Chain A
């Protein structure tokens, strides 16, 4: 077994390149090293000009998502040894503009996230003296899965619809909308429905399912979007059959 492995890392330095190029680095192949360890080794000992994002190293912050051999992964949770004897191709997350080397520009995702109002909306707040809004374990279970999203954007990279139609609201934002819709304390479903039951929202999803396949937290955004479609359809039928209903 070799004791080193080759990484082919995408480099984009806008001041000197008009498009990304690959640069090869030889790094030690250690059993306990993940891709992020290898990138940090390069940064510390081989080439300090390499730029990439990372923070927690434990699959919580969602910063270190990159394409590894064409698949979006958290580099802190992907072992080097899995790809031996190599080489391993490391690129910035697909479907996003590249800012530098392995760093993508994420404003589009941030704007979309904000558009779905990912917070609890109340029609009226009860006074603090009345205490917390209590939930049963079953009510918690209704949305808990979707609340595990760490905004790592792997699902956007895996989604061909987002790649081809950048206006698509995308998997994580819709899953997070569902996280609040399914929370019994929330009363903002109709506000989110206005933003999401549109061409750019849920209806652009063609259920490829790759968003759920790559999700490191098993959030299942694809399932969330399909459930949203069912809810939007019910909403539409109700508005047609019972126009006197409370509607919005």
Chain B
């Protein structure tokens, strides 16, 4: 039987490499991934702004008009355009990945990945139309 002697001294000589903070800067695939992760900052910021907007409704017509005025500043319009782009990028890349997570079988037949992605897109578009209709008709 082989016994590994003095294992602790072997362990202590191991060299551990550190991951540099900018590890993601070297390859396009990593940049794309980090970009997808960073979109969450814009989505979260948008959600916070939206919550304050809703709060202004509860504070009366004047507060609501004041907040609406602030939102129409070029800076905030620019932010919202950027947040929309970030949200679309996140959503599209997410729906494209959906078939990886959802493997659905009907009987012995697997539903093709493309169909699963398309069903997700269809659901997304349908919910968006319903929300849009509710807002525009209220």
What residues of chain A have their CB less than 8 Å away from a CB belonging to chain B? 12, 14-15, 19-20, 70, 94-95, 97-99, 105, 136, 138, 160, 163-164, 206-210, 213, 220, 222-223, 226-227, 229-230
Contacts and interface: CB of A to CB of B under 8 A. Distances in A.
B101 A229 contact: yes
Interface stretch (B21-29, B81-89, B119-127): B21-29
B61 interface: no
Nearest to B113: A223
B49 interface: no
B14 A164 contact: no
Given A99-B13, A160-B23, 16 more contacts: A14-B14, A70-B27, A97-B14, A98-B14, A98-B16, A99-B14, A138-B108, A160-B19, A160-B30, A163-B19, A206-B37, A209-B97, A210-B30, A223-B100, A226-B101, A227-B102
Interface string B21-48: 0011011011001000100000000000
A12 B13 CA distance: 10
A236 to B, nearest CB: 15
Contacts of B108: 136, 138
Contacts of A160: 19, 23-24, 30, 33
Interface size, B (range):
20 to 34
Contacts of B24: 160
B13 A14 contact: yes
B15 interface: yes
A163 B23 contact: yes
- 7 smallest A-B Cβ distances: which pairs? A226-B101, A14-B13, A97-B14, A223-B100, A138-B108, A98-B15, A163-B19
B103 A227 contact: yes
A70 B23 contact: no
A189 to B, nearest CB: 16
